[in-house]
Amino acid sequence: MKKILTLLLLPLIYTASFAQKSFEGEVIYSIDVQSRIPGLSSEQLSAIIGNTQHYYMKGADYKNDYNGSYLSWELYLSKAKKVFFSKKSEDTIRWANSTIDQDTIYKAELKKNDTTILGYTCDKLTFNCKSGIQVYYFNRQFSVKPSLYTDHKEGNWYAFLKMSGSIALKEIIENKQMIFTITATSVEQKDIDDSIFQLPADKPISELPIRQ
């Protein structure tokens, strides 16, 4: 059985001060990748992943748009409890079960007022995981209700929201394949049209057993 040790020991943070309205809007991130894959340079990996990510969130749903050669977009639909992926190399949309997390968090560390991003003072949350190290920087002005994402355990997303109660303005994901860093270049709270979170009606959909 998985044991998320530190999360059981640490008190819930900021629970009483979460804003009543969850973040709705768009965040644009710059992407930086450092390859650890033999024979694949950081420049080649960057071309695959892209250097810009557009993130849209509304209620319990979100979508990421990428400008690399591999993924077109990634979409989480809370009602389906699935994360959907559209690859540029195929027409079929793939999905993964969001309620299952293949990772394990061994330790969580919080450092308050660690750095400033886009003029916002950010706390730093570090997860030491089976997969590697995950670092998140966040400011509670961009609050998210963790209860909206209880079914999104994949990628440690709910674990992060439960401790931060906010979107991340910067993330550093370090594993055996790469060091993946996204940094917000703009954050805009605005109304997001529901059509952004609709799956294309003219494409087949099938399960992705292992996230790629």
For the chain, residues with pLDDT lower than 70 are 1-20, 209-212
Given the structure tokens 């209860």, which residue do they identify? Answer: 147
Q: Which pairing describes strands 205-207 and 93-97: parallel, antiparallel, or unpaired?
A: parallel
Residue 143, Cβ neighbours under 10 Å: how many? 21
b/e 22-52 (16+ beta carbons within 10 angstroms → b): bbebbbbbebebebeeeeeeeeebbeebbee
State the pLDDT at residue 52: 98
100-120, pLDDT tens digit by residue? 998 999 999 999 999 999 999
The whole-angstrom separation of Cα 193 and Cα 140 is 24
State the pLDDT at residue 78: 98
State the pLDDT at residue 20: 53
Total-model pTM: 0.87
Sign of the CA dihedral running 180, 27, 138, 128: negative
Q: What are phi and psi of 57, to 5 degrees?
A: -135, 140
